[in-house]
Amino acid sequence: MLKKEIVENMKHIVDNCMGDSKSACTTACPMNTDAKKYIALMGDNRGEEAIKVIREELFIPRILGRVCAHPCESACRRGEEDEAISIAGLKRYIADNYDNPDMWDLSKKDSTGKKVAIIGFGPAGAQGAITLLKEGHEVTIFEKNSFSGGMLRYGIPEYRLPRDIIESEFSLINRLGGKVKFNIEVGKDICFETLEKEYDAVLVSIGKQIGRKDRTLDNHDAKGILTAVEFLKEVSLTRESKEAKGNILTVGGGDVAMDCARSALRLKNSKNSYVLFLEKNLESLTASKHEVESAMAEGVKFIPSFGIKEILINEEGRVNEIIIKKCESLFNENGEFSPKFNEEEIEKIDIDTLIFAIGQGVDLTINSGERFQFNKESLQNEKNPKIFYAGDCASSNIVVQAMAEGRRAAKSIIRFLNNEDVWMGRDITLEGGKSETKLYLPTEYLPESWNLDSKIKRRKGEELDPKERIKTFLEVEKTFTHKIALEEASRCLQCECKLCMKECMMMPEYTSCPKELFKEYLEKGYENMDMNIAYSCNECKQCTIKCPNSFEIRENFMEMRKEYVKANGDISPLDGHTGLDDGQELECSKKYSVTIPGKKQTKYVLIPGCTVPASFPELVEETYEHMKKTLGEDNVGIILQCCAKPTEIIGETKLFEERYSRVQKEIDEIEADVIVTLCPSCYLTYEKYSGRKVISYWDLMKEEIGIPKDKKDIGKDSDVIFNIHDSCPTRYVTSHHDSIRWVLSQLGYKVEEMANIRENTRCCGVGGMLGCINADLYKRIVDRRVSDATQDHIISYCGSCRGSMELGGLDSLHILQLIHGSCYYKKDAKKRSDNYGLHNRLEAKRRVSK
């Protein structure tokens, strides 16, 4: 059984890994539209596929591309480093160019015979209708106006949203078989109770069609005073206003105020258009920056920090002047909206029309003027289960949110009509409810592939000339060109984490991300998983280094190896390890080992490990001599024996303990104070188990004995520039990295640093004893590491790493070759791996025993 901590670690990864997390743009969209995917397709010039992705969630992409408040853009990760992607602009381009009504999905289930009435033909009602129609229910929509679109049509000016687009996109409801009864106002032309009786369910989706005025002011109902709702509706239908003329002043600081002010400019009888607002400056307005800028460009004049004190009227009863008062603060000490005015600081403005754009509400006539009471999640009426709500009359305040509510309410209705619980077991995030993503890469983890070059600016669609455009209601902003769409799509970072997967070469062979992998382990049990997964990890820990959460992944695999071994009679279950085991037995045997204590005491004992003696017996001797010369012959001993690390790595704990105990016995017997190592794995093993001070030969040279005297600057005339490969087991032992570089500088050799060094180094392929069981993966890891090199010559300080770098085609040297050799030139490059073998261990034994 796996240890509790390991199971907890796996759960921790499953709960927190960001590998499958959606991008922020998608989760911020109330309809969960996969912006990342359609942007990628567009960037790939695959607009026909991109529109399919959009239409999976949105039936009005051309409308939303123009008027959506785009919460996706506010959440866009690029926006934190640079400017957000113009997601709406791209959606608009894709929809304008690739949406084909002939290709719309008109499929639906067989008729259920159930009938649903929907009140209001805006985005919430229309989306609800689509969801219900597709489920096979009959839908009848009651719309009090003569056209589709609800507040989209009556609240958004034509210069932002051409009417033919509304007509075209809303036609889907008819094409799916939905019936629409225009010019029928529920509560006036037909009783709400009649709908309740005649239909199996009713969805109320009425918009905020009642404008507000400041009724505390005298003369608020005078001629020439309008609400934004009535003004915009009239302009929407006629492109004119009977009431509005001359100097038109709009009160308010939101997008609706901008719509009024810009529409006012376009009227035949208007002179000037003003916007009066309480906020200190334009930056503090709730209106979108783009709308404010457009209004300014068109000539709207802004009056900040003022509110209305008095409305004055002429003898005809029409507004002709207002007195405004200075707003000194907007919020009280509790942060609540509570404007304070200076009644003394006043100004007069001559106006002919006053438009209040200070909010709007829902007509509650059908509920006898009472607020609707419903469950906020299921959107079902709390008293009458047949009635549901969506859109402005529920809680949404932007179009796409209204659509999401329409869909959610429709799903509740579907359950209700099936006699199911309307909410149990539902996950709002899967239904397109707004959710937070776990995906967040801190700036320091942003991959290089994320092209954040600030020169690649966010693209805008071209706009009509402000002077010309205010003469008409023609659409102001143009759709991107193909070139601009491609450029803008290329700015998308295609946000995802998987930083570990991009680095690790083994996990991608088995999984899409650690979350998925460890979920499978937890569900199936490690004993039912392919053992090759755990044994293919080369224990490099590079996943942990790359992971923003620093998840410990290697540890899980290591523990699994131990359990696989335990279940197999304390021996590795994989055939590939048989040879390794046999070799380890020999390497730890007396035949290949020798212990020589210091002449008087063993203050220092050199333990050179296996691979260095097996390749360079003469260098072991030289190192031993160097230590004796500098530390005193009486104080220095040597133990030629294996630490058995490879046995431990393959999970054979019992065998390791037994093999390691042999070398520990030698250490204890000669009472060595300090162990000096030549191998990173030996260093870590003795650090962990020996109970002695352990130091690498490189640190010993830097800190105590220096390089051999006659070697100072020996390489200064060399024509070679070396890269340095740091070993991954000692990635956190920074003193080794420093000392190796110090040694090379003392020797006088030139060094050029390659990619992925020191703590961030990559495995040479040997880690985890991978080569024994997966030679192909081992070779690919070798090649990947070699591809980091910038020179043909590379220095390692591990015998195995040196071998791998040579296998990868580099002129690969162990640092001992430079420390104890003569000046190294390019002409000296040669292959050395054929010199590896146990016979060299015997030779090393012979040399040190002389």
Whichever of 500 and 605 has its CB closer to ligand SF4, that residue is: 500
Output the smallest distance, CB 712 to ligand SF4, in A: 38
Whichever of 19 and 799 has its CB closer to ligand SF4, that residue is: 19
Output the smallest distance, CB 298 to ligand SF4, in A: 30
Pairwise CA distance, residues 464 & 617, whole Å: 81
Pairwise CA distance, residues 388 & 118, whole Å: 9
Pairwise CA distance, residues 465 & 266, whole Å: 14
Pick the piece of the chain touching ligand SF4 (CB under 6 A) from 105-113, 285-293, 319-327, 504-512: 504-512
Which one of residues 217, 251, 492, 675 is an interface residue with ligand SF4 (CB under 6 A)?
Answer: 492
Output the smallest distance, CB 59 to ligand SF4, in A: 22
Output the smallest distance, CB 554 to ligand SF4, in A: 4
CB 389 within 8 A of CB 205: yes
Output the smallest distance, CB 763 to ligand SF4, in A: 6
Output the smallest distance, CB 539 to ligand SF4, in A: 5
Phi-psi region of 329 (alpha: psi -120 to 50; beta: other; left: phi over 0): beta
CA R_g for the chain: 38
Output the smallest distance, CB 12 to ligand SF4, in A: 11
Output the smallest distance, CB 727 to ligand SF4, in A: 13
Give the binding-site size for ligand SF4 (rule: CB under 6 A).
Answer: 42
Determine the Cα angle at 111 with ends 106 and 114, to 5°. Answer: 120
Does the footprint of ligand SF4 cover residue 78 (CB under 6 A)?
Answer: yes
- Phi, psi (rounded to 5 degrees) for 104: -65, 145
Question: What would the 3-class secondary structure string for 762-791 be?
Answer: CCCCCHHHHHHCCHHHHHHHHHHHHCCCCC
Structure tokens belonging to residue 39: 């942007």
Which one of residues 199, 356, 551, 749 is an interface residue with ligand SF4 (CB under 6 A)?
Answer: 551
Whichever of 379 and 507 has its CB closer to ligand SF4, that residue is: 507
Output the smallest distance, CB 16 to ligand SF4, in A: 7
Pairwise CA distance, residues 557 & 276, whole Å: 66
> Within 13 A of 367's CA, how many CA atoms are on the CB side?
19
Output the smallest distance, CB 546 to ligand SF4, in A: 6
DSSP state of 374: B
| Angle (deg, nearest 10), helices 680-689 and 653-669 | 80
Output the smallest distance, CB 427 to ligand SF4, in A: 22
- Phi, psi (rounded to 5 degrees) for 92: -60, -45
Whichever of 440 and 836 has its CB closer to ligand SF4, that residue is: 440
Which one of residues 67, 87, 172, 720 is an interface residue with ligand SF4 (CB under 6 A)?
Answer: 87
Closest by alpha carbon to 120, among 205, 61, 183, 184? 205
In which residue are the tokens 């489920």 written? 135
Which one of residues 68, 225, 506, 619 is an interface residue with ligand SF4 (CB under 6 A)?
Answer: 506
Pairwise CA distance, residues 179 & 234, whole Å: 26
Which one of residues 499, 627, 663, 769 is an interface residue with ligand SF4 (CB under 6 A)?
Answer: 499
Which one of residues 68, 235, 414, 493 is an interface residue with ligand SF4 (CB under 6 A)?
Answer: 493
Pick the piece of the chain touching ligand SF4 (CB under 6 A) from 45-53, 170-178, 412-420, 492-500: 492-500
Q: Mask of contacts with ligand SF4, 9-48, x by CB under 6 A?
A: --------xxx---xxx---------xx--x---------
Whichever of 231 and 557 has its CB closer to ligand SF4, that residue is: 557
* Region 416-435 residues binding ligand SF4, contact defined as CB under 6 A: none
Does the footprint of ligand SF4 cover residue 195 (CB under 6 A)?
Answer: no
Does the footprint of ligand SF4 cover residue 504 (CB under 6 A)?
Answer: yes
Pairwise CA distance, residues 742 & 723, whole Å: 14
Does the footprint of ligand SF4 cover residue 489 (CB under 6 A)?
Answer: no
* Region 757-776 residues binding ligand SF4, contact defined as CB under 6 A: none
Does the footprint of ligand SF4 cover residue 77 (CB under 6 A)?
Answer: yes
Which one of residues 225, 229, 264, 507 is an interface residue with ligand SF4 (CB under 6 A)?
Answer: 507
Structure tokens belonging to residue 829: 């490059």
Does the footprint of ligand SF4 cover residue 553 (CB under 6 A)?
Answer: yes
Pairwise CA distance, residues 626 & 672, whole Å: 18
Output the smallest distance, CB 505 to ligand SF4, in A: 7
Whichever of 426 and 779 has its CB closer to ligand SF4, that residue is: 779
Whichever of 514 and 609 has its CB closer to ligand SF4, that residue is: 514
Output the smallest distance, CB 560 to ligand SF4, in A: 12
Pairwise CA distance, residues 163 & 157, whole Å: 9
Could you tell me the CA-to-CA distances from 814 to 188, 333, 832 in Å, in that order?
A: 92, 70, 10
Whichever of 507 and 740 has its CB closer to ligand SF4, that residue is: 507
Start-to-end CA span in the chain (Å): 50
Pairwise CA distance, residues 485 & 481, whole Å: 6
Sheet containing 604-607, strands listed edge to edge, beginning at the edge strand earlier in sequence: 594-596, 636-640, 604-607, 674-677, 693-696
Output the smallest distance, CB 82 to ligand SF4, in A: 9
Whichever of 77 and 213 has its CB closer to ligand SF4, that residue is: 77
- Phi, psi (rounded to 5 degrees) for 425: 75, 5
Whichever of 38 and 231 has its CB closer to ligand SF4, that residue is: 38
Structure tokens belonging to residue 5: 């901590």
CB 204 within 8 A of CB 380: no
CB 487 within 8 A of CB 5: no
Does the footprint of ligand SF4 cover residue 675 (CB under 6 A)?
Answer: no
CB 433 within 8 A of CB 30: yes
Could you tell me the CA-to-CA distances from 248 to 222, 243, 273, 719 in Å, in that order?
A: 14, 10, 5, 82
Output the smallest distance, CB 449 to ligand SF4, in A: 12
* Region 529-548 residues binding ligand SF4, contact defined as CB under 6 A: 537-543, 546-548
The 3-state DSSP class for residue 378 equals coil
CB 160 within 8 A of CB 64: no
* Region 809-828 residues binding ligand SF4, contact defined as CB under 6 A: none
Whichever of 503 and 811 has its CB closer to ligand SF4, that residue is: 503
Which one of residues 367, 375, 549, 601 is an interface residue with ligand SF4 (CB under 6 A)?
Answer: 549
Instruction: Report the interface residues with ligand SF4, using CB under 6 A.
Output: 17-19, 23-25, 35-36, 39, 76-78, 85, 87, 492-495, 497-500, 503-504, 506-507, 513-514, 537-543, 546-549, 551, 553-554
